[in-house]
Amino acid sequence: MRIDCKHVWDYISDYIDGEVDAELRAEIDRHLETCELCSAILDSTRNVVVLVADDRVFELPAGFSERLHQRLERELTT
Amino acid sequence: MKSAPNPEFEAECIRRILQGEKHLFHDLIRPCERPIYFLLNSLLRNEAEAEDAAQETVIKAYRNLANFRGDSQFRTWVLSIARNEGLGRIRKDQSRREDSLDALMDEQGGDYTPAFLTSWREVPMEALERKELGETLRKAIEGLPAIYRNVLLLRDIEEMDVKETAAALGITEGSVKVRLHRARALLQRDLAPRLKGFAPKRGRLFGWGA
């Protein structure tokens, strides 16, 4: 059975996380070999997922940890 | 720095804290600081209040440590305290209900068609040295509906697994997967066209270029 593009998009997230079964993965892989559109959607989604995971994107406010542990220390010593 | 939980270290720490070595709580809570803060910032959408709520969460976790049963990860337990703290503050402030609490309930509808591209050149991690890329990513994430943003934050930014994310947010594992899929699709649609400018240039005149 040949799957269509919409079907591939529905499973992109699970595909990236390795949570599709072997049969579906093989079908998606076959589709991707010949579909530039879905390949680009998959690659760009995966790229976005990798980029947002970088610690430089979300950093704790300056001094957050120090202030937290100072407050905690006051609690621990009372 | 994101650090994976170490259950043996945590169990030992908790035992000793409850026996009186209170100062060990500093070490126990340290790996949880990032997810606590970012979950609260995602719920409250205000840095100063998120920081205050994060401190309150940590104090509550300390005071209630004897109630931690060890049937979930310590971090999961702390994050559920953070979530309750955040939701409690939202409930107190009626003016915020519309854009936060009510939005937490809606998982239906929406258009998840991706951005159509015919090719994609990968944006490398080094591009994050450019402040504007980080800013672009942050704004896009902040623009997601709350239910999707919270899941994306724990799964993709704090790199927690499906089970822990579900437990921390009080939703099913199925919901985590559905919401994560939609969050990623919305981000791809929003970001892909704009990120193209951060990819290395193709086809230098001589050789392959840097």
Q: How sure is the predictor about B53, in pLDDT bands with cuts at 50, 70 and 90? A: very high
More confident residue, B137 or B208: B137
pLDDT, residue B97, reads 56
Torsion angle in degrees (nearest 10) through CA of B26, B32, B35, B38: -10
CATH of domain B7-96: 1.10.1740.10
DSSP chain B: ------HHHHHHHHHHHHTT-GGGHHHHHGGGHHHHHHHHHHHH--HHHHHHHHHHHHHHHHHTGGG--SSS-HHHHHHHHHHHHHHHHHHH-GGGTTTTTGGGT--S----PPPP-S--PPPPGGGGGSHHHHHHHHHHHHTS-HHHHHHHIIIIIS---HHHHHHHHT--HHHHHHHHHHHHHHHHHHHHHHHGGGSPPS--SSSS--
Read off the tokens for B78: 């702390």
Does the domain spanning B106-198 belong to CATH 1.10.10.10?
yes
The reported pTM is: 0.87
Option in A47, A52, A68 nearest B122 (CB): A47
For chain B, the domains span: 7-96, 106-198
Model confidence at B22: pLDDT above 90: yes
CA closest to A65 among chain B residues: B33
Write out pLDDT tens, residues B126-184.
888 888 999 999 999 999 999 999 999 999 999 999 999 999 999 999 999 999 999 99
CA closest to B114 among chain A residues: A41
Write out pLDDT tens, residues A1-57.
468 999 999 999 999 999 999 999 999 999 999 999 999 999 999 999 999 999 889
Residue carrying structure tokens 């107190």: B92
For residues B56-77, give the mean pLDDT.
Answer: 94
User: Is the Cβ of B163 closer than 8 Å to some Cβ of chain A?
Assistant: no
User: Is the Cβ of A5 closer than 8 Å to some Cβ of chain B?
Assistant: no
Read off the tokens for B51: 């920081």
CA closest to B61 among chain A residues: A72
Q: Tell me what percent of the residues of chain B surpass a pLDDT of 90.
A: 66
Model confidence at B207: pLDDT above 70: no
